[in-house]
Amino acid sequence: MQESSATTFPRLLLEHARLRPAHPAYREKDLGIWQTYSWSQAAQEVRALACGLAALGFTRGMNLAVVGDNRPRLYWAMTAAQALGGVPVPLYQDAIANEMVYVLNDAEIDFAIVEDQEQVDKLLEVEAQLAESGRRVHHVIYEDPRGLRDYDHPSLMSYQRLQEIGREYDQAHPGFYDEAIAAGSPEDTAIILYTSGTTGKPKGVCHAHRGLIGSAQNGCRFDGLTAKDDVLSYLPMAWVGDNLFSYAQAMVAGFTVNCPESRETVMTDLREIGPTYYFAPPRIYEGLLTQVMIRMEDAGWVKRKLFHWAMGVARRCGADILDGKPVGLADRVRHAAGELLVYGPLRNVLGMSRIRVGYTAGEAIGPDLFRFYRSIGVNLKQFYGQTETCAYVCLQPDGHVKFDSVGPAAPGMEIRIAENGEVLVRGVGLLKSYYKRDDATREAINDEGYFMTGDAGVIDADGHLKIIDRAKDVGKLADGSMFAPKYIENKLKFFPYIKEAVAFGTGRDQVCAFINIDFDAVGNWAERRHLPYAGYIDLAGQPDVIAMIGECVEQVNADLANDAMLAGSQVARFLILHKELDPDDDELTRTRKVRRGFIAEKYGVLVDALYAGKTEQFIETRVKFEDGREGSVSATLKLVDAKRLPPSARAA
């Protein structure tokens, strides 16, 4: 990769427009057809947009809210704000209106560029709430005009009209745009990304151009990313991972960002594009594997036998072949046959046939799930990081991937383990500050410049970091046994029938767990066994389903029995929740992280019933529907004892 000397994102855009004007910068699927925009076209679009914002009064230091699915025009809006010395603030597109109020207030938003009618409606809905705190979004620019023809509101303007105003402004002020970009500094705030708010109100994380570009350059060098690569951009723009992969690294390397038609068509679009560079959180990989297993269970016995034989070979030597390690001739021949008959076609079905580098992060990925993808030839790696560290702290080098670690410190980053086991980090990607929160910034960064991650970890003999859990969540059972809830939850979620899990145990005499079944996977399992069910609640309460989930819990306990640190924290009792945990009900963050404390309080009657040894418990729960209405669901849940195993000789 040719190293660029550009120090801000608008300058990087101009450089790509000069060096590779016709190279595809963005693709977007619209009405089933892929539309391509070159770097030259992208630069012209951003120029018109920035000048339009300036004509409306957007100036240096102002913040621009960006809300919607991944769209080229929304990425251009981010660059346009940066070109004027402003700061883009992406919001989660699936957040309900009331959730947006906090960020709109905290970030002092006057301008917003949104995707469509849905997002316009949310901003108009909270207008009165914003007015109570003296705020108002004066300009709301929408990209997709469908459904908005009869809207009559002084703040509304179409994206197309804004660009028309911008071109007129550019002609009337010919030197303005270039001077605005020239005035930018690498120390300027490039973006404000709000944390998920797992334990409290979200904080705005300010990242400078220097930090984001430095992190992107290091990451591109590390994985050999160039302008020839393709990435599928489908994860929330408000999430730091998308900002790194689909924005910062794309701007540095000049590769092509592909935006799917909709959230529902992502898998189809993935297969059409065949990206060379791919990221997905563990839940996506889990979902893909679940679909594979469902299809194989429905296949004929010959295909099932072939699949299971090939996967046995893959588990034995696939990852070693991928890493270039020595493998016997017989296994190489078997693997080659598996590649021809199973692994290659499977990667093609998954849309992963061209992937050179695949990443996962956000939550720990189960070792078995990790091994599956690497064994079929997908160069899947995991990295560790946070919003405050430009997404990554650790990266796994090719050929040195471990299933139980997140790799050594990434280029430009330093790691230290504090005396209490907390992971401390400093380096190029560290946040500039928390927005309007000097107190929080001082609390997060110590006197030596290390960011205190709040995660507990250890560094192994090879210098690879192993994350145990959130430091505040790692606790002990009443008998002194170590309890790491996230570790247990991730082991449970490896099974295709378990979508989510929440473990409890700190200070208690045993571990208990809530489980969400995967409705599609368990539904398919039930149908093949001719078990009738009327919906999620009915399916979750089926005795055969409860018994099957019990077998999954037993397998997890068998694994824990072999773990020297966690043998004493096997799951003693569990229940299957009557509803799926949902961000709209505040049970998960928008990045799908469990709000364990909130869940323990909301479902306290169930936690108490598990520890009281009850065999069933009635529960009624308030829920929010997608259309904004509220209602309730109720059920009598079965509380089940799980089979625990004595610690193995290895654990002991």
Q: What is the DSSP string of 138-175?
A: -EEEES--TT-TT---TTEEEHHHHHHHHHHHHHHSTT
Q: List, in order, residues 6 or more apart from 162 with CB less than 8 Å away.
A: 49, 52, 53, 56, 141
Contact 355, 376 (CB under 8 A): no
User: Please, which residues bridge with residue 142 across strands?
Assistant: 114, 158
> What pLDDT was estimated at residue 297?
80
The pLDDT score that the predictor gives to residue 293 is 82
For residue range 81-94, what is the model confidence (pLDDT) as tens digits? 999 999 999 999 99
Helices 39-55 and 159-172, axial angle in degrees (round to 10): 80
Pairing of strands 433-434, 204-208: antiparallel
pTM of the model: 0.82
Q: Which residue has the tokens 């990295």?
A: 383
Q: For residue 624, what pLDDT is reported?
A: 81
Query: With contact defined as beta carbons under 8 Å apart, do 352 and 265 qualify?
Result: no
Q: Which residues of 156-167 are buried (b: 16+ CB within 10 A; e: fewer)?
A: bbebeebbebbb
- pLDDT in the model for residue 564: 74
Largest CA distance in the chain: 80
Q: Are 578 and 518 in contact (CB under 8 A)?
A: no
Q: CA-CA distance, 590 to 95, in Å (whole number)?
A: 7
Q: Which residues are CB-contacts of 172 (< 8 A; sequence separation ≥ 6)? A: none
- Domains detected in the chain: 9-279 (3.40.50.12780), 280-353+361-382 (no CATH), 397-472 (2.30.38.10), 475-641 (3.30.300.30)
What is the Cα–Cα distance from 258 to 232, expressed in whole angstroms? 5
Which runs of consecutive H residues, i.e. helices, occur in 470-576?
485-493, 519-528, 536-540, 543-561
Contacts of 650 (CB under 8 A, 6+ apart): 562, 564
Ranges assigned E (strand) in 71-118: 87-91, 111-114
Cβ atoms of 233 and 70 within 8 Å: the answer is yes
What are residue 125's phi and psi, to 5 degrees? Answer: -65, -35
pLDDT of res. 91: 96
DSSP 230-287: EEE--S-TTSHHHIIIIIIHHHHH--EEEE-S-GGGHHHHHHHH--SEEE--HHHHHH
Residue numbers of the chain with a pLDDT score lower than 70? 1-4, 197-200, 364, 626-628, 648-652
